[in-house]
Amino acid sequence: MTEQETLLKFPCQFSVKAMGLAADDFDLLVVQIINRHVPNLGEGAVTTRPSREGKYVSVTVTFEASSKAQLDAIYLALSANERVLMSL
């Protein structure tokens, strides 16, 4: 899919959510993965939310996306990590 075939207009604000087992360093792991593709995350870019039972945690990172290729690379990197159970 080319830039022309996506509904997004770049650059744009975009949020990526990753879910995994709750651990003290899971949010740091997600930020490190995304930082490889988005070096300048702004303050307040990261929010975390535990599941009702506390077994899982979701980490949402909001940033300015520059291209579909950048987003594809982020999702590939997240899904390649065994600690990331799901990414949206």
pLDDT of residue 4: 55
pLDDT of residue 62: 97
User: Does pTM top 0.75 for this prediction?
Assistant: yes
1 pLDDT above the threshold of 70 = no
Confidence bin at 39 (pLDDT 50/70/90): confident
Tell whether domain 7-87 is in CATH 3.40.710.10. Answer: no
Domain borders along the chain are: 7-87
Q: What is the mean pLDDT of the chain?
A: 93
Distance (Å, whole) CA 49 – CA 5: 33
Given a contact cutoff of 8 angstroms between Cβ atoms, the answer to whether 44 and 50 are in contact is no
3 pLDDT above the threshold of 60 = no
pLDDT of residue 66: 95
Question: 73-77: long-range contacts (C-beta < 8 A, 24 or more apart)?
Answer: 73/37, 74/16, 74/33, 74/34, 74/37, 74/38, 75/16, 77/33, 77/34, 77/36, 77/37
